[in-house]
């Protein structure tokens, strides 16, 4: 993104610790002011995923990082790995042509995430709308609050609890890793130093992630069906094929093993829990009313 300001752009929904707020978010917020918004976003998302199926996971991740923390694009969990800004730019341009100055980038991200999951075979949910965009960013908060791939189970539970999520919701949201890719640098240590990992799985992944170098080589988080939103991610955890350390921690003899077992055997339960958790995540203390702004360009404040 050569033309991007280093001041974040992905900060559209700031978050207050443990604060949950329904504010003025409603499912029909744009019914009169911008009635075509949902169809515009859906068409653009479907087109982007048709060109590159990985984009669905990228758009979902943008929404997660946007809701979870008021953070900078250059923060450690974001730098070099966040993708999909060009798709959001395209959608924003189309939305502005239809109804200028009405729809926030935060709402575009929220709807695009849902449409991405649906396009890849996952559940749908009603996205509540009416968010406004932030005018500030915090590098330190992004570095500290977004869960790292190196976290153990207790740290994962604590990280999500700090945002108001229980352990079951944390495991459900982790199921987003049924799609998408991870960089070698995020799972190299697990490949070469951990023992709770399937031997044949290690061999297959090591070929693309040597002990040194090739940091940006990518591997699917779910090697079985990386472009389908399903419950295979949990089935893989049960046979020690979690790519990230934090993935495998969900099934490691701890308190969340039973939840993984439930989701691995019942995709309908996983889908229902995931959808509920996504609605909850989208409602993390959004800016509404006269707070914040409606960005003209999602990459920078007005």
| Alpha-carbon gap, residue 220 to 235, rounded angstroms | 15
Instruction: For residue 218, give the H/E element and its range.
Output: strand 218-220
Which DSSP symbol is given to 177?
G
Q: What is the dihedral angle through the alpha carbons of 54, 56, 58, 64, rounded to the nearest 10 degrees?
A: -150
The residues carrying an active-site annotation are: 65
Return binding residues for heme b: 177
Which DSSP symbol is given to 132?
B
Nearest Cα neighbor of 136 from 29, 7, 249 is 7
CB-based contact 287:136 (threshold 8 Å): no
Return binding residues: 66, 69, 71-72, 147, 177-178, 222, 230
Tokens 């940006």 correspond to: 216
Q: Which residues contact 51 (CB under 8 A, 6 or more apart)?
A: none
3-class DSSP assignment, residue 70: coil
CB-based contact 133:105 (threshold 8 Å): yes
List b or e across 15-36, with b for residues whose CB sees 16 or more CB atoms inside 10 angstroms. Answer: beeeeeeebebeeebbeeebee
Helices and strands in the chain: count of H runs, count of E runs? 13, 2
């Amino acid at each position: 993104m050569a033309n991007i300001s280093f001041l974040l752009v992905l900060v559209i929904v700031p978050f207050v610790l443990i604060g949950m707020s329904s504010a003025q978010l409603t499912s029909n917020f744009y019914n009169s002011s911008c009635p075509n918004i949902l169809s515009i976003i859906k068409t653009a998302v479907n087109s982007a995923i048709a060109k590159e199926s990985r984009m669905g996971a990228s758009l979902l991740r943008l929404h997660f990082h946007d809701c979870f923390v008021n953070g900078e694009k250059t923060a450690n969990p974001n730098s070099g790995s966040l993708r999909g800004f060009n798709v959001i730019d395209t959608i924003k341009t189309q939305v502005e042509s239809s109804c200028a100055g009405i729809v926030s980038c935060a709402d575009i991200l929220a709807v695009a995430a849902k449409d991405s999951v649906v396009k890849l075979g996952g559940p749908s949910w009603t996205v509540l709308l009416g968010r406004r965009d932030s005018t500030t960013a915090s590098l330190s908060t992004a570095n500290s609050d977004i869960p790292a791939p190196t976290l153990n189970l207790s740290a994962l539970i604590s990280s999500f609890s700090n945002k108001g999520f229980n352990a079951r919701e944390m495991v459900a949201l982790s199921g987003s890793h049924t799609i998408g890719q991870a960089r070698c640098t995020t799972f190299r240590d697990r490949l070469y130093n951990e023992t709770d990992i399937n031997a044949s799985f290690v061999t297959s992944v090591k070929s693309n992630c040597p002990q040194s170098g090739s940091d940006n080589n990518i591997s699917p988080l779910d090697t079985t069906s990386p472009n389908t939103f399903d419950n295979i991610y949990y089935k893989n955890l049960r046979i020690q094929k979690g790519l990230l350390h934090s993935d495998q921690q969900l099934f490691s003899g701890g308190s969340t093993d039973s939840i993984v077992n439930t989701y691995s055997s019942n995709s309908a339960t996983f889908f229902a829990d995931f959808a509920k958790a996504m609605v909850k995540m989208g409602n993390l203390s959004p800016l509404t009313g006269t707070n914040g702004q409606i960005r003209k360009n999602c990459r920078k404040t007005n």
